[in-house]
Every structure is written in C-alpha cells, then in structure tokens.
Structure 1
Amino acid sequence: MPQTTPTTKADAPALVRPSVLRTSLTVEPLTCTIGAELFGVNLGDAARDDDLFAEIKNLLLQHKVLFVRDQDITRAEHIAFASRFGPLEDHPVLGSDPDNPGLVRIYKDLDSKPEHYENALHCDATWREAPPMGAVLRCVEGPEVGGDTIWVNMAEAYRRLPEQIKTQIADLRARHSIEATFGACMPMERRHQLKAQYPDPEHPVVRTHPETGEKILFVNAFTTHLVNYHTPENVRFGQDYAPGASHLLNYLISQAAVPEYQVRWRWQNNSFAIWDNRSTQHYAVQDYWPAVRKMERAGIVGDRTF
C-alpha cells in the first residue's frame, strides 16, 4: 500500500518532513536505493501550485526519479510543469514539437531507423558544457509489453566503490562526446559540424551534487576517455597510458549495470517519469519491435560541473 512518509537512508539528506506532505499526496518507494511512485497528484496542478511543486521537488532530490500514472494533461501543462525546475532545452538531433518548444519527440515506429543511443546506460547530454538538470518524460503511446526504462542511482554507485578506487579517481576528469555517439552514423562532414557546434566538454569523474552535496560517479556511455590519467603516479611506461586509463574507465562505467542500484519502470499511456539527471543514469529497453513507442520529453537546462 502507498505510504505517506517516504523512507530515508540514514546518510541521506532529510529533505522532506512528514508534516510537510499534503494528505492527498502519497509516496511508495519502489526499491531500497532509487525511485518512488506518487499517488493523488496531478502534474498540471503542480505546475500552478508553489507548495505542491516544492513537495515534488524535495521528493525528487530524495528518490532521484519519481513516477506517476494516469496524467491526462495537455502538452502545455507538461511544459509548464517541467519549466518550474528551470528553462527547457532543445536537442540538436531529435525533433521537437513545433507548437511546444522544448518538448522533444522520441517516437519509435515502423518508419524509424534503428538507433541505439537509448539502450545504453547514459546520463542525458553530458556532451554539453552544462548537462541537463533533469527531465520530465511522458509515454504518449507504448507497447502492450516491453519498452521499460531503467534508472540507476549513481550516488549509490559512488558510495559503494572500494576506497582505493575513490582515492584514485578523486581528481580525474573525462571527455564526453556527441560526435562519437549521435554523430557516429552521420557522414563525416555532418559529424564534424556537430562536433564544432558541441566541442567535447570535460567533466569531473566524481561530481558533487549542487543541492544535496552527494558525490556522484559521473561517467557514462557518452564518456570517451580520461584526460589527466597519464601521470607518474599512474603510468610506469608509455604503454600503460591507453590500456590503464581505458580499463579504469570501463570499470567505472560498468558500475551502472549493478542491479542493486537500479529501478525498472513499466510504462503505460499517460504515465510520467521525472528524474534528476545529475545523479542518475537511465536505459530505455528496446525489446518491443515491431510495436510502437512514442515518448515526449522536456529536458531542463543544468549547471556546469566544474
């Protein structure tokens, strides 16, 4: 049964007091580490109600991804709710709704070309200097079976790393690339244009969350290489550089695949997911072809990672 008071890990910030929650809004945690489903809430109302939105934002910081079903709201209300978190951003490759700037269409139907940028564990748009703060995603039309999405708690992934690895990666930084991912199947000229528009940014391997203070393991499918690994402390001879750095990076990226850090969500039409892109990764399971899967996402502008 849904519960009115969300569970909180002992070392997590106390972001929501039971007395603050409205009696109509109930919360059911879905795993021990990430994800909660909300009941008794309408996101259209939350777009217009400061107190209700504040409750939802606090719950998002605690659970990192929130889910809510049966949201028969308009696209304008979708945009209005997402905009409460901050300005929205378009995507340079995916198409947006022409009447609702910032609402990106992720439509997979029989006319779609095979694409594999979603079914990889990734943090949205880390190829930007300022990756998105988060996103609000709606299922417009989904398959009867399949098409789930998985989210991962990357604060938990960092917390449970061996201490010697935490020490080794404390000051490391890495490059992230749109050219090597979205651009990989493009003609060379178009690929180079994309990289010129979005030069590969450099982010810390361990990011500090700007609101909760948690340390986040911040490497994913867009990460190409470590940029400051080749030091006397790490490299005996020159041939250590490439394999040593890549082995470490692959180990770090693999942490997102640990089931204990994950939650899996089964979509229904008019269900929503709201996630904190700073502390999570996600994976859209592509197991439903030839069924149709149509999603609409409002991505929220984020901060530079420094």
Structure 2
Amino acid sequence: MTVITTQPTATMRAERLTAHIGAQVTDVDLAQVAHDDNLFAELRALLIQHKVLFFRDQPISRADHVALARRFGELESHPVLGSDPDHPGLVRIYKDLDSDREAYENAFHCDATWRECPPFGSVLRCVEGPDVGGDTIWVDMVAAYNALPQDVKDRIADLRARHSIEASFGARLPIEQRHALHAKFPDAEHPVVRTHPDTGEKILFVNAFATHLTNFHNDANIRFGFDYAPGAGDLLQYLQRQAAVPEFQVRWRWTPDSFAIWDNRCTQHYAVQDYWPAVRRMERAGIVGDRPY
C-alpha cells in the first residue's frame, strides 16, 4: 500500500489491486480535488504510476465531475454517444431496457484511436448499475509490450496501423450515414508502438479500432501474390489479442457513485455485458489528448 500525504490534516491512500495496473484510492473527496491544485497534482502522479485509479462513494455533482476532468485538459464530445445537455463533454453511456443489448463496448479498446489525437484519458462515474455484473476490465499495454518476444518487438518497431470509426461505430449505420461519418472522421494512422510522453515507456498501441497495418506490404515482408495478406492480418490479430491476457488486467466492480480515472494512452478496457436486462448508466468525461509518436 502506498500512502501519500496531501496536507497536514488529510492523507490520500492508494492501494494496488494487481501487480501491474490499478489502485483504489481512499481518504479523498474528488470534489475537493477538482478545486485544489495540490490534491490534483498528487492525484495525477498516482494516475501516471498506476494507469487507472478507482474510487467509491463519491456523490459529487456533475459540475464537479466536469471540473475534475478539466484539470487534465480540455474535454471532447463523442460523435455517436449522447452528452448531458447541461454539461458539455459529459457523455452519457446509458444501457437500459430501451437500449440495444448489443453494442460496441465488449471489445478490448483504447478510446477513440480513430482520432488523430486520441484522448489523454477519462473520468467515468457509475450512476446506476446492476446488483451483479457489468464490471469493467482495464489492461496495462506497457506490460503487454514488455512481455512480447524480442523478435516480435523488432518486427513491429516501425510499423503503423490504421484506426477507423467507420469500421466500428459506423458499421451498423446505413451506407450513406456510414460514409458521412467517415468523411467527418477520416481514418487515423498511429504507430503500433507508441511512447508514453510522461514516462518514456513503450506501449503496444493497437486495439479493436485498428483495421490493418499500413506499411507491412514491402519487400522485407512479402514475396509475391497474396503472401502479404495473411502475414499482416495474423500479426495484427496476434498483437490485438495481447489485451486479453489476464496477467495484464485489473477488473473493477461498479457501485453507484464509484469512479474510475484512466490513462487512455497506455491502457485498454472492456465493458463486460453480462447484466441484461438490468440497467447500467455511466457518465464519462473524456479529455483531449496528443498525437501518438
């Protein structure tokens, strides 16, 4: 357990949940963190260290939720999910009996890598959840990269991948709407291995939004005919499957007014959909990020 003193009369405690990723933080009021420079600096340092932070019993206002997220940077909206009309940037992820039970949550993904500058991270709150089920899994993609065989690291060092909203959120839309979504949000290309701007660590940076490797088809990797196609596809699938390795994961059971804050640059997550027909309502503030390198 790590204990960090925030001020003479209070402590912020962070207890590790796994060997690689995740800590539950106690003895802190997120509403205070939203308006206190010192508390926020310590919280941010814990986030960089643990990659995802968890909190329980935080009945803060939506305004404080937004203010806390804005501490990290400007907020971004989502082109498909609905936002709270009174709090721009606070995205509603509501699953109830009127929702389609099949959605795009149950795949390991890093939020919005179809953007040229994917989010820095998010602050997510459980408004209402099932009595059991509906957990979320986060994955340490630094640990996933570190565990790769050296020959794979060498092979992917300079590779890049295309990420698409059209092939994910847009796949269920009529063709005209899908093309319009693609026109507004063209595919983004990112390095398969990115560098964390705060820690310098290398991160395996392909997820469910990645459709193909863009610079694999070259003289070093192919001979003739369709030789390149299974090679590139198999390699990408192998890399994407690393997120499913339990040793890199932490799992969080939601309760009302619990929060998760995660670093989207070095993690993936998976919202487990095992609770139908129970209700699950979440609110997320996503933070604008930088261009991966």
Q: Give the shorter-chain TM-score range.
A: over 0.9
2:150 to 160, 163, 167: 163
Cα shift at 1:116 = 2.6
- Cα distance in 2 between the residues matched to 1:21 and 1:214: 31
Shift of 1:240: 1.2
Q: How far, CA to CA, are the matches of 2:67 and 2:102 in structure 1?
A: 30
Mapping 1:91-130, distance limit 5 Å = 91-130=78-117
1:134 aligns with 2:107: no
The partner residue of 1:85 within 69, 72, 86 is 72
What is residue 206 of structure 1 aligned with on the other side? Answer: 193
Unmatched segments (≥5 aa) in structure 2 = none
Paired AA for residue 209 in structure 1 = H
Residue 159 of structure 2 corresponds to: 172
Shift of 1:153: 0.1
Query: Any idea what the Cα deviations from partners look like across 1:202-238, whole Å, max 9, x if unmatched?
Result: 0000000111111000000000000000111111223
1:185-200 pair list within 5 angstroms: 185-200=172-187
Match of 2:125, SS? strand
- Which residue of the other structure, out of 253, 261, 283, is the alignment partner of 1:296? 283
Task: Tell me which amino acid in the other structure corresponds to 2:72.
Answer: F
SS of residue matched to 2:250: strand
Q: Does the aligned pair in 2 maintain the 1:4–1:21 contact within 8 Å?
A: no
Q: 1:165-205 deviations in whole A, cap 9, x for unaligned?
A: 00000000000000000000100000000000000010000
- In the TM superposition, structure 1's runs of 4+ consecutive aligned residues that sit over 3 Å from their partners are 18-23
Contact 1:21 1:55 (C-alpha < 8 Å) held by counterparts = no
Aligned pairs for 1:1-306 (under 5 A) are 3-5=1-3, 23-306=10-293
Partner Cα separation in structure 2 for residue 20 and residue 271 of structure 1: 21
Q: Distance in 1 between matches of 2:237 and 2:74?
A: 33
Contact 1:151 1:264 in 2 (8 A): yes
Structure whose residues are more often strand by fraction: 2
For 1:188, give the aligned amino acid: I
Instruction: Calculate the aligned-residue CA RMSD, in Å.
Output: 1.1
Tell me the number of residue pairs that the alignment of Structure 1 and Structure 2 aligns: 292
- Confirm or deny: 8 A CA contact 2:5 2:12 kept in the other structure: no
Offset at residue 21 of structure 1 (A): 7.9
Shift of 1:20: 6.7
1:117-175 deviation per Cα after TM superposition (whole angstroms, max 9, x unaligned): 11100000000000000000000000000000000000000011000000000000000
Contact 2:206 2:240 (C-alpha < 8 Å) held by counterparts: yes
- Aligned partner letter, 2:19: C
The percentage of aligned residue pairs carrying the same residue is 70
Cα–Cα, structure 1 residues 64 and 21, in superposed 2: closer, same or farther, change >3 Å?
farther
One-letter identity of the residue aligned with 1:157: A
Amino acid at match of 2:284: R
Task: Determine the C-alpha separation between the residues in 2 that align with 1:19 and 1:272.
Answer: 21
CA distance in 1, matches of 2:157, 2:185: 26
Please give the TM-score of this superposition, normalised by the length of structure 1: 0.94
Q: Secondary structure at the match of 2:227?
A: helix
Instruction: Structure 1: give runs of 5+ residues left out of the alignment.
Output: 6-17
Distance 1:231 1:287, change over 3 A: same
Cα 1:4–1:230, aligned 2, differ >3 Å: closer, same or farther?
closer
Kindly tell me: are residues 171 and 4 of structure 1, through their superposed partners in 2, closer, same or farther at Cα, counting changes over 3 Å?
Answer: closer
1:99-124 C-alpha deviation (Å, 9 max, x unpaired): 00000000000000133311100000
Residues 291 and 100 of structure 1: CA distance in aligned 2, closer, same or farther (over 3 Å): same
Q: What residue in structure 2 maps to residue 15 of structure 1?
A: none
